[in-house]
A and B are shown apart, each in its own frame.
Chain A
Amino acid sequence: GAGVSQSPRYKVAKRGQDVALRCDPISGHVSLFWYQQALGQGPEFLTYFQNEAQLDKSGLPSDRFFAERPEGSVSTLKIQRTQQEDSAVYLCASSLVLAGESTTYNEQFFGPGTRLTVL
């Protein structure tokens, strides 16, 4: 029942390799967010899904980054041809709230993150 889970927790990739990071949101949460957190910094937005629809991908740093959520639950963030600057913690968050809803309960629940190190 728990919270948001992410796998793997740690990933080491050689420069140029492709990686896939998985996020299992809380059951029933319609909104899913991906953030990138560099060491010592706050999380930065990458992309947002409402169910299976990717409504905002304005934060993806390049076309090497791709995210999907085909059935509206599990999401995968894929990074192609990884570069050293991709090294960071990738956080996934889910929320009950649909974009535009007016409510106090739009808390985003975060997973533990995947720490990606590109050598």
Chain B
Amino acid sequence: QQPVQSPQAVILREGEDAVINCSSSKALYSVHWYRQKHGEAPVFLMILLKGGEQKGHDKISASFNEKKQQSSLYLTASQLSYSGTYFCGTEWGAAGNKLTFGGGTRVLVKP
């Protein structure tokens, strides 16, 4: 079952913040966040495994709610390099399994 991502697209000015949400109808084993630029491979950002977990990577951070059904990605003080499409990939059951990706959130950061 594909997770639902929102919003589908967001336009930011450099320095602004944004939140991207990823929701599942059932509890997940983990959530993986990736960023993909046009014509390039998806690049791994972070994994969240535990309910209530929060994790950060530079000025990009993420959280996983207690029920493990929703994750949010936070872009803080956005930079031009943050532009791209962000995907959440979800795992059910156990580690090492296939990822089921959301439809993506297109982020454009303007000067």
A59→B102 CA distance, assembly (Å): 16
Q: Which residues in chain A, 50-96, are within 8 Å of chain B measured between CB atoms?
A: 56, 59, 91, 95
- If A107-B44, A109-B44 touch, does A100 touch B94 (CB 8 Å cutoff)? yes
- Whole-angstrom CA separation of A11 from B106 in the bound complex: 26
Instruction: Knowing A111-B41, A113-B41, say if A106 contacts B103 (CB, 8 Å).
Output: no
Q: Does B40 contact A (CB under 8 A)?
A: yes
User: Does A97 make an interface contact (CB < 8 A)?
Assistant: yes
Give chain B's interface secondary structure class. Answer: loop
Do A41 and B103 touch (CB < 8 A)?
A: yes
Asked whether A119 is an interface residue with its Cβ less than 8 Å from the other chain, the reply is no
Known: A42-B103, A91-B42, A109-B44. A56 touches B98 (CB 8 A): yes
Pair B96/A41 contact, Cβ less than 8 Å: no
Complex interface residues of chain B between 78 and 111 (CB less than 8 A to chain A): 87, 89, 91, 94-104
Q: Are A48 and B102 in contact (CB under 8 A)?
A: no
Contact partner of A59 (CB less than 8 A), chosen from B47, B94, B97, B98, is B98
Q: List the B side residues contacting A110 at CB < 8 Å.
A: 34, 41-44
Report how far A59 CA is from B100 CA in the complex, Å: 11
A-B contacts, 27 of them at CB < 8 A, read A33-B99, A42-B87, A42-B101, A43-B89, A43-B99, A45-B98, A45-B99, A48-B97, A59-B98, A91-B42, A95-B96, A97-B96, A99-B94, A99-B96, A100-B95, A101-B94, A106-B30, A106-B47, A106-B91, A106-B96, A107-B32, A107-B44, A108-B89, A110-B41, A110-B42, A110-B44, A112-B40
Given A43-B89, A100-B94, 13 other A-B contacts at CB below 8 A?
Answer: A31-B96, A42-B87, A42-B103, A43-B42, A44-B101, A91-B41, A91-B42, A99-B96, A102-B95, A104-B47, A106-B30, A108-B99, A112-B40
Give the interface of B toward A (CB within 8 A). 2, 30, 32, 34, 40-44, 47, 49, 87, 89, 91, 94-104
Residues of A within 8 A of B (CB): 3-4, 31, 33, 40-45, 48, 56, 59, 91, 95, 97-104, 106-113
